[in-house]
């Protein structure tokens, strides 16, 4: 059925927005260096050979190069023991040359995500996954905010999208995206001050709840799950999905698919993120901001100053 929504739809260009953030970070890195400080150093740990993780980590390392950070990629065999991995993290924690540590998830089944996350020094936890940092985020205190929801908040801010008093519906309750997203959107300040509903696999009447969303964040990892009949006219739709779907017409043999049926949903929206080129690049830009922050806190506090 044709949409009755009359305002123009705007595509939220994550690639351009992320580039603007990286450009300004590049300048800040130069300023930090000019004060005699070393440039930020991110260490990414990749365990095993998960194709998608390889791609994401490669993008993170590339972004470090773009903004002038130092980066180190540590590749570990799939069968590394949890003990060995934890030992390595403890070494990175005490290495004064390292500002940020990220261990790419998912990890092989024999390694506990929680043990790994809890072992990373919260001051170097640029993913914002450590319980100390999650707690600070919930309390609205300065901290490292997980990169994907952080990137989405930066995007809402960049496009000056009104959030106060809006009903935000988040589909998905993962620790990486859905849960922190719901906390941030409900927080005081801008972007924020939303009334938030978080939906998951046990939610009843999901479609009806989504239909009441002014801001709809789809983060469940099911290609094309959000259809036009679930979306209110004029809604802001944020698509976090990045599932690899087999596609024989592609050289790689797959294409990346979002959680939103973009073609049919987009005409109803006031704003929508594309996949690719929406949330993905913003996630990387947010990680770069977190890494810069880790470095700046360390060096400025050494010099008796605070960046909070």
Residue 73 sits in the site that holds ligand GUN (CB under 6 A): no
Tell me the C-alpha distance between 225 and 236, whole Å. 16
Which range touches ligand GUN (CB under 6 A), out of 101-109, 133-141, 253-261, 271-279?
A: 101-109
Asked whether position 105 contacts ligand GUN by CB under 6 A, the answer is yes
Catalytic residue, from 22, 99, 125, 127: name it.
Answer: 127
Active site residue 104: yes
Stretch that binds ligand GUN, among 19-27, 62-70, 100-108, 222-230 (CB under 6 A): 100-108
147 touches ligand GUN by CB under 6 A: yes
Minimum CB distance to ligand GUN smaller for 127 or for 214: 127
Written as six digits, the tokens of 253 are: 């043999």
133 vs 148, beta carbon nearer ligand GUN:
148
Minimum CB separation of residue 224 from ligand GUN in Å reads 20
Cis peptide before 276 (omega within 30 of 0): yes
Q: Does 102 bind ligand GUN (CB under 6 A)?
A: yes
Give the Cα separation of 226 and 272 in Å (integer). 12
Residue 127 touching ligand GUN (CB under 6 A): yes
Q: Where are the beta strands (DSSP E) in the chain?
A: 10-11, 41-47, 70-76, 100-103, 167-171, 195-199, 215-218, 236-239, 243-246, 254-257, 271-272
CA 135 to chain centre: 18
**DSSP letters for 9-61:** PEE--HHHHHHHHHHHHHHHHHHHHHTTPPPPEEEEEEES--HHHHHHHHHHH
Shortest distance, position 139 Cβ to ligand GUN, whole Å: 21
To the nearest whole angstrom, how small is the minimum distance from the Cβ of residue 29 to ligand GUN?
21
Decide if residue 286 touches ligand GUN (CB under 6 A): no
Local structure of 155: helix, strand or coil: helix
To the nearest whole angstrom, how small is the minimum distance from the Cβ of residue 129 to ligand GUN?
A: 7
Of 125 and 214, the one with the shorter C-beta distance to ligand GUN is 125
Tokens in use for 133? 């940092």
Radius of gyration in angstroms for the set of CA atoms belonging to the chain, rounded to a whole number: 20
Please identify which residue in 17, 104, 257, 290 interacts with ligand GUN, judged by CB under 6 A: 104
Order of strands, sheet of 100-103, starting from the edge strand that comes earlier in the sequence: 70-76, 41-47, 100-103
CA distance readout (Å), 268 to 8, 203, 214, 236, 239 = 9, 24, 12, 9, 15
**Closest distance between ligand GUN and the C-beta of residue 21, in Å?**
16
**What residues between 170 and 199 interact with ligand GUN by CB under 6 A?**
176
156 binds ligand GUN (CB under 6 A): no
Cβ neighbour number for residue 95 with a 10 Å cutoff: 13
Smallest distance, ligand GUN to C-beta of residue 284, A: 9
**d(C-alpha 27, C-alpha 90), whole Å:** 32
Give the residue with the Cβ less far from ligand GUN, 47 or 265.
47
* 214 lies in the site for ligand GUN, by CB under 6 A: no
Q: Known catalytic residue: 60?
A: yes
Position of minimal CB gap to ligand GUN = 105
User: Which residues make up the interface to ligand GUN (CB under 6 A)?
Assistant: 102-105, 127, 147-148, 176
Catalytic residue positions, numbered = 60, 104, 127
């Amino acid at each position: 059925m044709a949409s009755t929504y009359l305002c123009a739809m705007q595509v939220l260009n994550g690639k351009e927005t992320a580039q603007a953030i990286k450009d300004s970070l590049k300048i800040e890195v130069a300023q930090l260096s000019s004060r005699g400080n070393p440039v930020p150093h991110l260490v990414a740990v990749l365990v095993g050979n998960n194709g998608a993780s390889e791609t994401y980590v490669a993008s993170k390392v590339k972004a470090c190069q773009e903004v002038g950070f130092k980066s180190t990629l540590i590749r570990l065999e799939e069968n590394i023991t949890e003990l060995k991995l934890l030992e390595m993290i403890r070494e990175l924690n005490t290495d004064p040359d390292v500002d940020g540590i990220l261990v790419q998830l998912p990890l092989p089944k024999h390694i506990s995500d929680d043990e790994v996350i809890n072992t990373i020094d919260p001051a170097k936890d640029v993913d914002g996954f450590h319980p100390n940092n999650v707690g600070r985020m919930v309390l609205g205190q300065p901290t490292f905010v997980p990169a994907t929801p952080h990137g989405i908040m930066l995007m809402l801010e960049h496009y000056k999208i009104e959030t106060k008093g809006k009903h935000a519906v988040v589909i998905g309750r993962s620790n990486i995206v859905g849960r922190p997203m719901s906390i941030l959107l409900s927080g005081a300040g801008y972007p924020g001050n939303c009334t938030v509903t978080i939906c998951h696999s046990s939610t009843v009447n999901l479609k009806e709840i989504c239909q009441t969303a002014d801001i709809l964040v789809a983060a469940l990892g099911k290609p094309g799950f959000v259809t036009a009949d679930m979306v209110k006219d004029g809604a802001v739709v944020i698509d976090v999905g990045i599932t690899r779907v087999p596609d024989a017409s592609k050289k790689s043999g797959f294409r990346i698919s979002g959680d939103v049926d973009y073609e049919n949903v987009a005409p109803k929206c006031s704003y929508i993120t594309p996949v690719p080129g929406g949330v993905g690049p913003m996630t990387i830009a947010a990680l770069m901001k977190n890494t810069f922050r880790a470095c700046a806190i360390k060096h400025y506090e050494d010099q008796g100053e605070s960046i909070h």
